[in-house]
Structure 1
């Protein structure tokens, strides 16, 4: 069954074609095409469960251990940095979520409105790398947890099994991911509460955590930046899970706040546990949980955490497939894959993620910290340009048919000013960078304080706003998601 996206926009697109009937089959049929109003469904409050469950995972606990183990922060400075970072980053991430109901398209398609159809390719391919990194990181943690519960099975085998399980959920698609998120929320919250109680009641743990008072400005800023980044890394795909929501204003507001609190609370709570674990229990958070919980309880909890990883990685595979389709459709503007091709594109990134997981499982924490730093440098300028364009320049008004038109429609192949602002912003970040492999001159002079995230947020926000507000008056605002997009035939489904 085909799902053409019908209609024509001011860019001179083709004549309208009838819209297909709403598709409610088990396996999702749509990919990157605009979702028409008659297929919109779901409740914004369900988004709380999706993002709460996506964040309460072993990897988030490990992220909390970075505060004491990498940045040498004591308990209260670490908690303050984690809270501040997630509150700030979560709001930026949730602003992207509200774009989904408004436009009805995935985030990387919407990014064509700022960078042009070809100009957006760079960030799209960076996001594919990001997905692979998250997929691999989650697999390593799940494999370690399952190996501790069932030592007879090698970690590598567990990595493959968890990867394949996530693949199945991703192939079914959007609705199943939402359903899994709902029951996973109950499971994850219960597990987190159980772990917290056992850890805090273990003799000596709370006392050692309370005595840790380490603090450096560079460490506090670095951990705050990680909190911001953990939220912003969702920005390139958060609206992928809101684009089926109804487009009215009340839905958009609810989408923002349910996404915000689900993601923030789902992050800070396990990170708090990770901070305590890093200070008082062990360098290896998974080993520490195994020791504290002990016996059968440890096996149940660690296996359950692995199940949560399956949910998170299904989102990573699903998002990767949308990015790959977006990249391909840039050069074949009339093509959208049906179910078989979509399935193949979801399966393809599995090999890359597994390869990374197997390669870096022995040096995980150091590799993971540098991975977060790299994402920070490339994603924050993009998110600044995207949000300024959507909320301050165009105020949510886009010509959706142009997203799919040959040559990028009214947005063109490359929006030179946006690409230039992005490139200059990235270059200005370089002196402020601080990683294990490179420290910029400004970061060195500041004692290792990495302020590249602030540069990457403020510079493109101001520069792009000053440039774009003068140019947008000459470009038609066009339609939003309520209007259909050009007809794009899909392959057989």
Structure 2
């Protein structure tokens, strides 16, 4: 199966004889996944909601680096364990208790699939001359098909998208600078703490949202792959790609104003020109969104299988079952896209920040457990046994997770809810910082008291073990 394009694995451990690739593959994948229109919109939101160019860009850099570091720490787990990201949550929450964060993750995948389909559907609709709604449907079908083929195709498209989209963004950047009075934009710098923290939160939430599936795309790397190399290649690809796109978005929003807000895709394409160039740019937008939408479809399928298998004990999935789960994600995401396509910008900003509320505590618990409590050693058979080492439900971890969500609410700022401690902070949203720090400290305090040694016979193999064998 090592050379087959059609992936056979789902949530089972990838054996060493099927491992392949190098850590550099994480750079190309995540660069391609971030050089795309939704990242442009995310950067633009920092200006649309009141920030200036200079401090918006600085804030986005800070958020991309902080959130990207957390995301890359998850990526480094993939080669070591050979498992999808969310199945590892069973070690913290229990074989069945992991369904709690998993259900929220599935909602995230559906939401990102929908938001990506709205923008890509506009591009596909222009390319095919069929309109936005048929464009969304075509784009969703192609995303589902690619996710069904799996890991190798996803990485191949990511590499191609990275090169093609980088060239397109260079060209678009030149065209934008021809129109923009950059000196004036940079001179109009006025630091505003709430807007600065909003920019950090937007980019940090963008990066942290990759955490629940980033190891899905590093789990086929050889077990001997350096964790440090995996971390740095993932962080650099994701941070460079997202910052590039978001900086472009900041400059577009600062120069275009309402023209960009009315139709993001048409404005960006019009910036590049007409005729064949416009056709190429519509293709680039669709290709960039295809990469990330396939990741969302694939990750959603993995999360559904992980949720159900915790109760059914299923480890292996047939191609037909795989297609069914992927279709569920595709249909749900497409339905949301069609229903919400007319209120995209405001809804997407609130969606990003609200997601952050649920995934920062999960990241904190997962990383503390993996790196500080379990010391990168998991009992792999017990991850599928509700009567084993990790149990069915880990109520202490679930309580910490609930507390991690609750402590953020007083600091949260969204369109539909603002916490009571936001005003004393000048309107700044620091909920994600609280959501990382509090559950990390609580979980470390509780888990280190209850953690026993891992059985060497069932522990995660180390590279030295593999060499000795």
Per the normalisation by structure 2, the TM-score is 0.94
Q: Matches of residues 21-420 of structure 1 in structure 2 within 5 Å?
A: 22-70=1-49, 72-148=50-126, 152-202=129-179, 204-207=180-183, 209-248=185-224, 250-283=225-258, 284=260, 285-296=264-275, 297-405=277-385, 407=386, 409-420=388-399
With 345-354 and 330-339 compared, the bigger mean Cα shift is at 330-339
- In the TM superposition, residue 477 of structure 1 has moved relative to its aligned partner by 6.7
With 113-122 and 331-340 compared, the bigger mean Cα shift is at 331-340
Summarize the Cα distance change of 1:331–1:473 in structure 2 as closer, same or farther, 3 Å threshold: closer
Question: Is the Cα contact below 8 Å between 2:357 and 2:435 reproduced in 1?
Answer: yes
Summarize the Cα distance change of 1:305–1:480 in structure 2 as closer, same or farther, 3 Å threshold: farther
Question: Is the Cα contact below 8 Å between 1:400 and 1:478 reproduced in 2?
Answer: no
Deviation per CA, 1:228-268, whole angstroms, max 9, x where unpaired? 111111110000011111112x4322111111101110100
Summarize the Cα distance change of 1:341–1:359 in structure 2 as closer, same or farther, 3 Å threshold: same
* Residue number in structure 2 paired with 1:6: none
Summarize the Cα distance change of 1:214–1:141 in structure 2 as closer, same or farther, 3 Å threshold: farther
Question: Is the Cα contact below 8 Å between 2:125 and 2:136 reproduced in 1?
Answer: no
Q: Residue 191 of structure 2: SS of its match in structure 1?
A: coil
Question: Is the Cα contact below 8 Å between 2:377 and 2:454 reproduced in 1?
Answer: no
C-alpha distance in structure 2 between counterparts of 1:403 and 1:307, whole Å: 36
Q: Residue 442 of structure 1: SS of its match in structure 2?
A: coil
**Of 409, 423, 447, which residue of structure 2 is paired with 1:444?**
423
Q: Residue 441 of structure 1: SS of its match in structure 2?
A: coil
Summarize the Cα distance change of 1:458–1:477 in structure 2 as closer, same or farther, 3 Å threshold: farther
Per the normalisation by structure 1, the TM-score is 0.89
Q: Residue 249 of structure 2: SS of its match in structure 1?
A: helix
TM-align CA RMSD? 1.7
Q: Residue 47 of structure 1: SS of its match in structure 2?
A: helix
Question: Is the Cα contact below 8 Å between 2:51 and 2:192 reproduced in 1?
Answer: yes
* Residue number in structure 2 paired with 1:4: none
- In the TM superposition, residue 367 of structure 1 has moved relative to its aligned partner by 0.4
The number of equivalent residue pairs is: 457
Q: Residue 24 of structure 1: SS of its match in structure 2?
A: coil
C-alpha distance in structure 2 between counterparts of 1:112 and 1:362, whole Å: 39
C-alpha distance in structure 1 between counterparts of 2:43 and 2:449, whole Å: 43
- In the TM superposition, residue 93 of structure 1 has moved relative to its aligned partner by 0.4
- In the TM superposition, residue 214 of structure 1 has moved relative to its aligned partner by 4.3
C-alpha distance in structure 2 between counterparts of 1:155 and 1:170, whole Å: 22
C-alpha distance in structure 2 between counterparts of 1:80 and 1:282, whole Å: 20
- In the TM superposition, residue 396 of structure 1 has moved relative to its aligned partner by 0.2
- In the TM superposition, residue 147 of structure 1 has moved relative to its aligned partner by 3.9
With 427-436 and 50-59 compared, the bigger mean Cα shift is at 427-436
- In the TM superposition, residue 382 of structure 1 has moved relative to its aligned partner by 0.5
Deviation per CA, 1:35-84, whole angstroms, max 9, x where unpaired? 111111111111111100001101111111011101x1111101100000
- In the TM superposition, residue 182 of structure 1 has moved relative to its aligned partner by 1.3
> Structure 1 unaligned runs (5+)?
1-21, 484-493
Summarize the Cα distance change of 1:215–1:356 in structure 2 as closer, same or farther, 3 Å threshold: farther
> Structure 2 unaligned runs (5+)?
463-469
- In the TM superposition, residue 146 of structure 1 has moved relative to its aligned partner by 3.7
Deviation per CA, 1:162-219, whole angstroms, max 9, x where unpaired? 11111111111011111111111110110111110111112x4435533543432111
C-alpha distance in structure 2 between counterparts of 1:146 and 1:25, whole Å: 30
C-alpha distance in structure 2 between counterparts of 1:417 and 1:299, whole Å: 54
